[in-house]
Structure 1
């Protein structure tokens, strides 16, 4: 499968590389590094483009910031979510906390080796650094606490391996989707996490948005406007000024497009009233 995808990507580089300068291998991934190397060795010098990956990541905040177990549980939440793929891409291996917890659970289940695959030294070297920019899809945040009753030995899944519980604050604005709450400050904390964990990479916000629980027949999008405003404001705060390209390359074109769309709708409304 990796080789087939690499051939497909190579064809895309060949046919469209003179016009396309930013490539995302996967939006939420399962294979990536080989394509980055293909572009790096065969196309980068002549096309001057960049290859990145887009990962989903919600923020996990400790329920009690003075409780070390809650702090560690929140760290696991983010590492098992975003770090699962970002850490190998930037550092060449899975997050240490994933290796520790899954390894320990595997031993408890009587397995001879960890259920988490092991990278060889050659694979670590091949994967590490295969990211010119990081795309992030972010929507919401959870409060995280250590589970009081750890899962039994026989249970083995992504969720039981993390050994944590997710909570929400009932005061958080509820947009209508049971999983999506507006928590702008969590977005900023996730961006700072990426900055410190992965060496301040260039970031492109590839997914962000909110549902609307209210049904209406007219233009009534105040809630969504507020969501975008709050999240963009968190993105723009210092010390992330080195990533102002996110504003000029993503936010500004998006705002311009929305302005044009709203103007067109308003014009159609006026013409309809005139007729």
Structure 2
């Protein structure tokens, strides 16, 4: 057992990405069940999370005093036209579908009302005699509500949205929005989905604060993918930008952020990208049977951030 030493726990990491494996063939187990499979998987994961939280709450928390959450991931959706009420409403709807799906049952009980309304309507339009979005029992709502001691956020990028239909299966067609990127944003990383938008994180933190009563929040993942360069200055710039955005959210917007974790300490296996994209602060040679490790420039940079509590310029010494 690790409970006497480990005090921060995650029940399920990125449940929305896990659920996509039941919707289309982009994630394991690659079951092409569209949104019917997606919602059923999400529903099951929420109940599983609730049961694990309650088990810990009953059996271990009184003596071990640990804290538990569920890591919720996703891009932040920004209105394409900030002056358009339609785009503002579309962005709100998209964000409820993206993170309200898992956050709302945990913090408020049941699915977001806008999500229930749109999926029920879409199901009828498709001739389905019941909603694709399952319904919780009252006992299940009570089981799940309140099962987060802190908000665990995995975040990497943002998108502009307007009303429409996006062909990318990663974006929920039931929510009726289409995504785009701002030409002023920085270029994508080696991972094409990862476009640096630091202020998108600040806006997301404000959104979470307003939506869920400013809970204590830990950014459990944030990082940058590249080809494995040791002089990984793009990664350093990315992390600096997102840490600056986090500091602004804390000091200017009173967001209750209590922690930040870089993804990742080591290069590792990245979903369907395998070992082709590198996120580590430390390089791992996967061709070496010993898996030799070499600290990158970002390792020194982040080591200095942790040790000084400041966003300092890294030295060239990769100790």
- TM superposition score normalised by structure 2: 0.69
Matched, 1:222 2:233: yes
| SS across alignment from 2:55 | helix
List aligned pairs for 1:170-185, cutoff 5 A: 170-174=183-187, 175-185=189-199
Which residue number in structure 2 is paired with residue 56 of structure 1? 73
> Which fold has the larger relative contact order, with Cα–Cα distance below 8 Å and residues 6 or more apart in sequence?
1
Which residue number in structure 2 is paired with residue 75 of structure 1? 92
Cα distance in 1, alignment partners of residues 81 and 255 from structure 2: 32
Do the aligned residues in 1 keep the contact of 2:100 with 2:112 (CA within 8 Å)? yes
Pick from 181, 187, 199 the counterpart of residue 168 of structure 1. 181
Matched, 1:20 2:9: no
| SS across alignment from 1:245 | strand
Report the alpha carbon displacement of residue 259 of structure 1 after superposing the two structures with TM. 8.0
| SS across alignment from 1:145 | strand
The structure having more radius of gyration, on CA atoms, is 1
| 1:65 to 1:131, Cα distance in 2 relative to 1, 3 A | same
| 1:242 to 1:139, Cα distance in 2 relative to 1, 3 A | closer
Pick from 194, 209, 214 the counterpart of residue 200 of structure 1. 214
Runs of 4+ displaced beyond 6 Å: 257-260
- TM superposition score normalised by structure 1: 0.79
Matched, 1:139 2:156: yes
Do the aligned residues in 1 keep the contact of 2:205 with 2:255 (CA within 8 Å)? no
Cα distance in 2, alignment partners of residues 135 and 78 from structure 1: 16
List aligned pairs for 1:226-265, cutoff 5 A: 226-237=237-248, 238-239=251-252, 241=254, 243=256, 245-246=258-259, 250=261, 255-256=302-303
Gaps of 5+ in 1: 1-14, 268-275
Report the alpha carbon displacement of residue 227 of structure 1 after superposing the two structures with TM. 0.8
| 1:263 to 1:150, Cα distance in 2 relative to 1, 3 A | closer
Report the alpha carbon displacement of residue 240 of structure 1 after superposing the two structures with TM. 5.1
Which residue number in structure 2 is paired with residue 272 of structure 1? none
Cα distance in 2, alignment partners of residues 150 and 208 from structure 1: 25
Gaps of 5+ in 2: 16-44, 266-298, 308-313
Report the alpha carbon displacement of residue 60 of structure 1 after superposing the two structures with TM. 0.4
| SS across alignment from 2:153 | strand
Pick from 88, 101, 112 the counterpart of residue 95 of structure 1. 112
Which residue number in structure 1 is paired with residue 145 of structure 2? 128
Q: What RMSD, in angstroms, separates the aligned Cα atoms of the two structures?
A: 2.8
Cα distance in 1, alignment partners of residues 231 and 170 from structure 2: 42
| 1:84 to 1:38, Cα distance in 2 relative to 1, 3 A | same
Cα distance in 1, alignment partners of residues 243 and 166 from structure 2: 38
Q: How many residues align?
A: 241
| SS across alignment from 1:38 | helix
Report the alpha carbon displacement of residue 205 of structure 1 after superposing the two structures with TM. 0.9
| 1:112 to 1:65, Cα distance in 2 relative to 1, 3 A | same
Report the alpha carbon displacement of residue 93 of structure 1 after superposing the two structures with TM. 0.7
